[in-house]
Structure 1
Amino acid sequence: MSVNLTRQFLNFEQPIKELYEHIEENKKLASKNSSSEYDSIIAKLEESVLQKRKEITQHLTPWQKVQLSRHPDRPYTLEYILKVFTNFIELHGDRNVKDDKAMIGGFAQLDGETIMVIGQQKGTNTKMRQMRNFGMANPEGYRKALRLMKLAEKFNKPVITLIDTPGAYPGLEAEERGQGEAIARNIYEMLRLSVPVICVIIGEGASGGALGIGVGDKVLMMENTWYSVISPESCSSILWHNWDKKEVAAEQLKLTSDDMLKFGLVDGIISEPVGGAHWNYDEAAANLKSFIKPVLEDLKKIEAGERIKQRIEKFRKMGFWDEE
């Protein structure tokens, strides 16, 4: 086990960083000395790393889960597509304005079965983040997603969406081109798609930006993700006029995967590698694949009309209300 010098550590991950530094120091000493005592020291430190990752994960606050969902080393949509699916063919453009780089999608194969996979993509460096608009899609992104969903329906192929966005792009030009209408249209059309639809929140699931590709027969969340109408920072800004209460907001919003499952707003939680998905891309992708495959098989057994009926009823029942 060697530390990745480009890896970034969150504040609560600093104990892990310190252990990695000790490992590197002992490896340097071992290279200069022939003594085998360093091997046992390094082995113990590596065990300590795994234990510390486990300890940290077991005691995460809602705000820390929000931070993990945004971890710069966390796998994004393209990473999951490349590791879960094969023969991915990306399709571009909304046939109206342009190709939105924040929203990607295309046909791929899941163990030989053709599916349509769609998701928001964040950038892995400054230049890519700018190109991908930090995962915030414009109206043409949601219209592209809808075009691809309709294409999948035409050829009777299931749809899988991977959600990871801080929200739809809030710029003036996005509103001028109909951001609200585009998201509303997607919600309406996704309710009526005749093919199986599985939505997975792999990072941030914020506001209408997430809902624009988040209506499905099954909505799933990775373990260290969040799903809410508003981010903790924005909530804090509205209620307390600054970001200082973001941790309190995260607690009160009940936005974690455990909260969402308890409220019945999602249908399942996909486990992540110890410490978070950013520690092991292969394991995170394998967990995602092993979870969605049986879900998809079960959905295919249901007749299309009944599946649409159940999907509509599922979302109609969400929320709490009193009737007088």
Structure 2
Amino acid sequence: MKFFLFIILVISTYAVNNKTSEWHSVYSQLKQSDLSKVDPYVEEYKGIDPLVRYPIKKRSAGSVYLMDNLRVSRMIEEGISKKNKIKYGREIKWTSAMIDVSKLKRVSVVLTKSQINLGIIKPKTGHAQMLFEFEHGGVVTNEGFIDTLVISYEGKRRDDQPFNPAVGLFRVYPSIFVMGTFEDLLVKVNSFFNGMEIYDLELSEKQKRDLLENYLTAAFDTETLKKERYHTTRNSCVTNMFKLLNTVLPKERKVKEWYQAFGLYPARTLGSILPERMEGTLRKLDMVSMTTDIFGKEKIREYYFGLVEVQKRYSKSTRIFNLMYENKK
């Protein structure tokens, strides 16, 4: 019995040491990559909407990934308004990052919201993306420990080409996944939306990790994405979110994506298309454990600057870690 326990201990110790070795190996490569100093993708994206880039997988080792083109925009002051309030804009930045899937702790659907005023009709519109939150060290850049990741399916557009849902029906926009941080998402919401709703998902640990792995696989598959086109009702932010979510759900809990008639699938279900139906679709399957509603630009900025303070503390711990890491080498 003691011998059996000894063998288990040896195997466990080897697995932990191997895991630590993978993390440090990728981290060492991250330290050599800094898009803020040398950005090889600038020419490729000239004339393209500055908010989108294809995520590039550079390496993977076990559960750890190294990538380029993580969006890490910042909110910046742009003067004083007529009401004597600070005006905030954004500085768009891209960086390299490492992602450790094993440190994932929470998965949420985020709906960024707008409301179009058409007189007595005020339809809600929005954009869906998946938020992944990690334990400390789950997402790391050269600027520090970030520990959040937002992955969003979008239509790739020219810099002078505004998004139009009606135009999206004609498959005009190439497909693209965009990856950023939660702070980056708040910067985007402050610029383009009125607020956001966050639906924490009730998933097992394995389902969470598998979902993230499936998202990363789809996001890094640039070759396939370049062949596809965005479609407002058939291949959109919402439909891709449900399609990927279904990859980890058992048959009885899968989201119904298509209507079926006579063995054919003529149309998508409204619950898998419309942003305003997303919460209801998820709640029908008992998948929402908690909802957070952040509405109004002031609330968004308050949330953002609160997270920035947390990141400052993270950055301090990162500097200490880097000193220890360099000395250890």
Question: TM-score by structure 1 length?
Answer: 0.25
Greater strand content: 2
